[in-house]
């Protein structure tokens, strides 16, 4: 199973330089878990930059995988990870979702560099001014 971090989804939808890195996970929806926090982050970012129809299309694509709600158990696991690894809330939810299901987390977020169970690619070259 795979969990793609919001940064990966956004990179894929924008057809950015790292899009092909995320394609194997995204293009196998039967093996894809999608935390609801990722839907929130991706919808919000695309809505800020494009039309609502574009944001809704992205969400529809994400929903091809199995959507994973933030329940009490996941919230507690994420809070523990947040403290242990000093991760922001959304990052800790993504990692907890992957770990509680035995999935691999795919990301270009530097907070996950060298973290066990994570497939990481440097995304800093994709940011303006980097």
**2-118 carries CATH number 3.40.630.30:** no
pLDDT in tens, 53-105: 999 999 999 999 999 999 999 999 999 999 999 999 999 999 999 999 999 99
Question: Among residues 18, 65, 62, which one has the least CA distance to residue 41?
Answer: 62
Task: Please give the structure tokens belonging to residue 110.
Answer: 């530097």
pTM of the model: 0.93
For position 124, what pLDDT does the model report? 83
When computed from its CA atoms, the radius of gyration of the chain, rounded to whole angstroms, is: 14
- Residue spans per domain, the chain: 2-118
């Amino acid at each position: 199973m795979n969990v793609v971090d919001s940064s990966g989804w956004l990179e894929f939808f924008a057809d950015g330089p790292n899009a092909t890195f995320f394609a194997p996970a995204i293009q196998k929806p039967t093996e894809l878990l999608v935390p609801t926090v990722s839907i929130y982050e991706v919808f919000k970012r695309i809505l800020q930059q494009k039309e609502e129809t574009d944001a809704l299309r992205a969400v529809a694509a994400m929903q091809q995988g199995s959507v994973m709600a933030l329940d009490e158990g996941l919230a507690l696991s994420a809070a523990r990870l947040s403290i242990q690894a000093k991760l922001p809330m959304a990052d800790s939810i993504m990692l907890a979702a992957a770990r509680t299901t035995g999935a691999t987390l795919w990301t270009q977020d530097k907070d996950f560099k060298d973290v066990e169970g994570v497939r990481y690619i440097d995304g800093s070259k994709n940011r303006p001014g980097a």
